[in-house]
Amino acid sequence: MLSKKFNVFWLKLSCFLIGWDYSMVKNCSELSKRDAKRYCSALLLISIIWFFVGFAFSNRYLSLGILGSLGGGLVSVLCIIQIERQIIMSSRNRLLAIFRIFLALIMSVIGAILIDQYVFRNDIEGMLNESRRDRIEAKIKDRNNELEERLTSLNVELTKLDATIKGQQEKFTDELFGKGKSTGAVGYGSIAKGQESFLKSSIDQREKIRQEISSVQDNKLRIRDQIEKDVMNAPRGFLEEFRILLALIRTDGWSLMVYVIFVSFFLCIETIIVVTKYFHKTKNDYENIVDFQLEVRFKQLQSLEMDTIRKMGRTQLIDSSNSLTSRVL
């Protein structure tokens, strides 16, 4: 009794997932029921694999957390079910089969990449650290060059400003003692006041330049720690790990072999339904019933069309209408 209930449940689930009408399948032969369960088994196998792929991608690269990653896995499963239904529910179409095989090839490559990034995570971790250390050194070098250029520019500016301040101090002193070329008067006159104001402005500017030089020198001392923190703590990107995986595959024959094995495995899994559908020589009775219903419905429409034409008194169009519907059928 329990086994019978389970078989009914399994058949209902199979029909629901693959898009078949359960009320029709339950009255069909065991061949149709077997095909429904077989399609469902293949669909569940593909769905489980892509649930893991969607969950891993959402969790590792999108940082969606557990609930968000579960949602990403369910979205992947939903997409797979809709794709496979296009094959299961359609008639045998060579162009559709070719398209599905091409899509399976793309999906197998994507799936193998994500799985391999877990399989080779320790190797990728080491190569990722090396890659990031190289990036750190390159960034430190570029940043140091920028700071050195800025420091050189500030020192040149400071040297010029020191010379300007020295000359201005001499002019101000000469003006106070009547040796200036402007008035020759002794004392703190309007010319001396102007020179003093300019001198103070130059001294303030020199102080700002010295502070900036001190800040640039401090940045040179802290630049390594800042860049290391930014680079090493940056979240891992899919493309970053993908580039490392490609480098690992190119340089290590064993890694290439494992990657090819995973691609082949995914490709075989992805094409199970296509192979089952298009290399099965005969249709089951469910598919024959669907085709028969389509034919009956078409003949009913054809008969209705001819009755309508007769009522309209245009019997000369019956022959052309029959030839048209025959071509469609």
Q: Which two tokens stand for residue 120?
A: 């080779």
The Cα 9–Cα 67 span in angstroms is: 28
pLDDT at 92 over 90: no
Among 53-57, 94-98, 136-140, 211-215, name the one with the lowest average pLDDT.
Answer: 94-98
Range of 22-31, 243-252, 316-325 with top mean pLDDT: 22-31
Which distant-in-sequence residues (6+ apart) come within 8 Å of 289 by Cβ? 24, 28
Output helix, strand, coil percentages for the chain, rounded to the nearest 5: 85, 0, 15
Provide the pLDDT confidence category of residue 315 given band limits of 50, 70 and 90: low
Percent of the chain with pLDDT over 90: 2
Q: Which two tokens stand for residue 317?
A: 């169009």
The Cα 171–Cα 196 span in angstroms is: 9
The Cα 66–Cα 270 span in angstroms is: 27
The Cα 18–Cα 20 span in angstroms is: 6
With beta carbons less than 8 A apart as the criterion, state whether 63 and 235 touch: yes
Paired strand residues for 177: 186
The Cα 172–Cα 220 span in angstroms is: 39
**Can you give the pLDDT at residue 96?**
73
Domain boundaries, the chain: 2-122+252-284, 126-245, 285-329
pLDDT at 184 over 60: no
**Can you give the pLDDT at residue 328?**
43
**Can you give the pLDDT at residue 74?**
93
Percent of the chain with pLDDT over 70: 82
Average pLDDT over residues 196-222: 77
The Cα 234–Cα 129 span in angstroms is: 12
Average pLDDT over residues 90-107: 78
Residue 196 has a CB neighbour count (10 Å cut-off) of 16
DSSP assignment of 147-216? HHHHHHHHHHHHHHHHHHHHHHHHHHHHHHBT--SS---BSS-HHHHHHHHHHHHHHHHHHHHHHHHHHH
